[in-house]
Structure 1
């Protein structure tokens, strides 16, 4: 049994008293509304026009239910349901629960004054006045609690819906959806598009903790395949972002216009597949370029390095390493030797072998092709 219902069972209002109170309900309701307008600024505008009429009817209905309760004819459940919906409506109108609770406090005071003014002259015994007051405030407390529950439930529902809209926007961005779709998703999520976005890949269990360190407008997904999490960071300062991600297994893609966030995502995915050691994709552009088309790169190596295929695998691998160092160090023998940890004479000998295998080693086109072909260390053998 609710507190208000228990108080009602302790109060015996006769028909004469009930009739006297009912006669002042409309006047009391109007006084309640005027007091709320005066004392609770959040309702100064809300209680005008059609909305004002709706709320006035709600106040009269609540008081009517209260009188039914006081007279022993029920009404509490209907009033609680209405109060619950009122709490939900406050969220839709953008008002906090504090404002509604203030209105309830003002309403309780004014309602008690008005109802008592009708009950006491009607002969309500002094011993019953205190019970009547207790019932009034217990009833208001229950309405307040019902409204608070409605307010909290609506906030939770809206928060969940908002989170789902943000997640859908993130999925649309990663999928490379059209500009029209992205603008619709952003509007539905009430998300202000930035100029650029940077995609970060990291383990799913690290996604939410990392997200809390970043810009609040960051989008997050932590339910992608392979236990992968994704952060889409708006207008991020790259050095600062990299510092924030220290200690996490993150791969940071390039910054791209927000509608092209999928390009940042795709590069981060490729970088992660290329090497688990890559953190900043901008530091590995050459490797990413050379690995962009694996079949084409394999064909290039097979054609350009064909002379090495005639040699034993160990010799071929050693000459390829020498050729790579020679190209990187522009033929400076001492530097090549230092990079390979061999004697300069060894470099000279190996380069003699390479010139026999590649007679046109000095031509610009051959240098370009060989540089590309040996740009990534061989994984063969």
Structure 2
């Protein structure tokens, strides 16, 4: 098939062999099924959303869209395969509006389109090659497939935008009100009523995630579509708060992967009406410089919950060292901390401190002279471990 000199001005003259088109058309149900499976696997916002009637609707939409393309590509007079028919464009537009009503972002929608385009092209090109379509025709075919799907995705984005500009904006305000009630400690009755007005299905748990404003959109695309967003909070400066539903148990690793490297911080999962506790922990952890996962730093959070009390405890338990020179006191404190954390294993203490085991023995003799029997008292050992162990975190 000869190529036009200038594609955009001369138009496309792609005409696939009839037997190749027939074979591709017979494969459309399988392509639709593989597309839905891939979207569920690769776009977290669609997890659980494409089962039942919704999944069937998407399968039908894929078959109709690709079937329309094949009709155009098979040589219908005057038709440009890059341009979907009016019914296909309308269907894509309404799909975008529906996704906005479902709370999914344009990022999630476009991610689904990208997955669908990849799966569709893989299947149709495989069929084309097996049907003997020449390489030059295959190149044209690829360009037109992706141009056609780009047109459909643009129509869906337009529908999504229009929906948010009308009813979507109202619903967003209702969703923000739920987040505000949860953070302000409103009564359960008030929060539940706000969720019902917004049509927001209450989850089992919510997890507070503090995210830089520049990273909100990509994180939202990777988490559940029912995630609530709260911005302009006094504790967050240039960060926003996401309240992510049901990211507990085995689902937490997926949440942590979604925020990895984005400067975000996830608090613990809590029963959804108690998510303020998750937010408070995230704020405390952020103040300590913790990133990504508060639950990986629980000891630090506990020990630093009351810095003044920790400082007083440290001064109290190290009182026997007050009469020593600062350098000697520091060496004995380091030795005592290591001895406590290594349960008295002298060789391990020596290895950590880079000293000879005999030096450890000598220093522990000094400490026993200073503390006496208190080093064998469980309450003293506990206080020393807390006070000195904080330096080890």
Give TM class, smaller chain.
0.5 to 0.7
Asked if 1:215 is matched to 2:229, the reply is no
Contact 1:208 1:220 in 2 (8 A): no
Unaligned ranges ≥5, structure 2: 1-97, 102-160
Contact 1:208 1:222 in 2 (8 A): no
Go from structure 1 to structure 2 and tell me whether the alpha carbon gap of 1:201 and 1:153 turns closer, same or farther (over 3 Å shift). closer
Alignment partner, residue 146 of structure 1 = none
Alignment partner, residue 327 of structure 1 = 340
Asked if 1:159 is matched to 2:172, the reply is no
Q: 1:180-219: per-residue Cα shift (whole Å, max 9, x none)?
A: 2211221222211101111111222212221111100111
Matches within 5 A, 1:296-311: 296-311=309-324
Contact 1:197 1:258 in 2 (8 A): yes
Alignment partner, residue 232 of structure 1 = 243
Contact 2:210 2:241 in 1 (8 A): yes
357-366 vs 312-321, which deviates more?
Answer: 312-321
Aligned match of 1:354 in 367, 372, 386?
Answer: 367
Bigger Rg over Cα: 1
Cα distance, 1:378 vs structure 2: 8.3
Go from structure 1 to structure 2 and tell me whether the alpha carbon gap of 1:350 and 1:155 turns closer, same or farther (over 3 Å shift). closer
Q: 1:41-68: per-residue Cα shift (whole Å, max 9, x none)?
A: xxxxxxxxxxxxxxxxxxxxxxxxxxxx
Contact 2:337 2:389 in 1 (8 A): yes
Cα distance, 1:247 vs structure 2: 1.5
CA RMSD of aligned residues (A): 2.6
Alignment partner, residue 46 of structure 1 = none
Go from structure 1 to structure 2 and tell me whether the alpha carbon gap of 1:313 and 1:178 turns closer, same or farther (over 3 Å shift). farther
Tell me the distance in 1 between the aligned counterparts of 2:281 and 2:219: 20
Alignment partner, residue 203 of structure 1 = 212
Cα distance, 1:178 vs structure 2: 2.0
Tell me the distance in 1 between the aligned counterparts of 2:260 and 2:392: 30
Contact 2:338 2:349 in 1 (8 A): yes
What's the TM-score once normalised by structure 2's chain length?
0.54
Paired residue secondary structure (1:210):
helix
Go from structure 1 to structure 2 and tell me whether the alpha carbon gap of 1:205 and 1:155 turns closer, same or farther (over 3 Å shift). closer
Matches within 5 A, 1:141-152: none
Alignment partner, residue 176 of structure 1 = 185
Paired residue secondary structure (1:275):
coil
Q: 1:255-300: per-residue Cα shift (whole Å, max 9, x none)?
A: 1100010101111111111224x43221211111111222322222
Contact 2:182 2:276 in 1 (8 A): yes
Matches within 5 A, 1:333-344: 333-344=346-357
Go from structure 1 to structure 2 and tell me whether the alpha carbon gap of 1:187 and 1:297 turns closer, same or farther (over 3 Å shift). same
Contact 2:259 2:265 in 1 (8 A): no
Alignment partner, residue 281 of structure 1 = 294
Go from structure 1 to structure 2 and tell me whether the alpha carbon gap of 1:162 and 1:309 turns closer, same or farther (over 3 Å shift). farther
Contact 2:346 2:360 in 1 (8 A): yes
Q: 1:160-181: per-residue Cα shift (whole Å, max 9, x none)?
A: 1111111221122223322122
Aligned match of 1:265 in 279, 283, 308?
Answer: 279
What's the TM-score once normalised by structure 1's chain length?
0.56
Contact 2:210 2:265 in 1 (8 A): yes
Aligned pairs, how many? Answer: 231
Tell me the distance in 2 between the aligned counterparts of 1:333 and 1:340: 11
